[in-house]
Amino acid sequence: MAGEKLCGSVDSTEFSKYYINTILVTLVTVTFMMFFGSLSAYAFARMEFPFKKVIFAVLMTVFMVPAQLVMIPKYLIISKLGWVDTILGIAVPNIFSVYTMFLLKQFFSGLPKELEDAGRIDGCSYFRLYWNIAVPLCKSGMVAMTVLNVLWAWNDLLWPLIATSTDKLRVLSVAMATLQGQHGTDYPVLMAASVLAVIPMVIMYIAGQRYFIEGIAFTGVKG
């Protein structure tokens, strides 16, 4: 019955709030996801440190763990930290992506070693090698992963639903799900909301289409 109540109560003001919440959550999640993912990818691809292969293999085992399996531990952690119904509670548990690290590692591994040698001669630190040399040269891979991560963060339903208990930080995916009532659905409102939710993703894909295709093609060859 809650869904039916919300179905008739969603107005333009509430939808604007959900839209802003979704943009904010997506921006925070993807920004830190790409930063930490690319940093760790560069470390595994270009640096030598003890037990590197073992640590990488352990991280790869995360692929075998269903995301639903860690929902309860994640919720208990953000509950202890007081992050329920906050941007941090929705974004922080998702900013560490092994998938992003694994794919970006393929790009960084393909860079010529001579470029790093030249950077070290000029006095570059590891971070400057990463930021000023590796990232610009792997622009297509970075854009491709950004597009994929934005699509995932924008459409994520389960975790925002778990991490919020009120509509204060409700995102579009959750709001649209509540438009479907048990005994009836307001299809005109639902379809309008769906179109508005898709528009930013279409614009983003068109803007980064060239880099996205190059990145996916390069990843396929390297993989």
Q: Is the pLDDT of residue 7 over 50?
A: no
pLDDT at 5: 42
Contact indicator for 19, 172 with CB cutoff of 8 Å = yes
Q: Which of 119, 97, 116, 120 is CA-nearest to residue 40?
A: 97
pLDDT at 105: 93
Mean pLDDT of 59-68: 87
Q: Give the model confidence (pLDDT) of 112-141 as tens digits.
A: 888 888 888 988 898 999 999 999 988 888
Instruction: Look up the domain containing 217 and give its range.
Output: 2-222
Mean pLDDT of 132-151: 89
pLDDT at 212: 65
Count of domains for the chain? 1
Mean pLDDT of 25-43: 95
User: What CATH number should be reported for the domain holding residue 167?
Assistant: 1.10.3720.10
State residue 182 phi and psi, 5-degree precision: -70, -35
Contact indicator for 37, 104 with CB cutoff of 8 Å = yes
Give burial (CB, 10 Å; 0-12/13-18/19+) of 186: middle
Q: What is the DSSP letter of 180?
A: B
Q: Give the model confidence (pLDDT) of 65-82 as tens digits.
A: 888 889 999 999 999 999
Q: How far apart are CA 53 and CA 147, in angstroms?
A: 29
Q: Which of 6, 3, 29 is CA-nearest to residue 90?
A: 29
State residue 185 phi and psi, 5-degree precision: -135, 135
SS3 of 56, please?
Answer: helix
Average pLDDT, the chain: 85
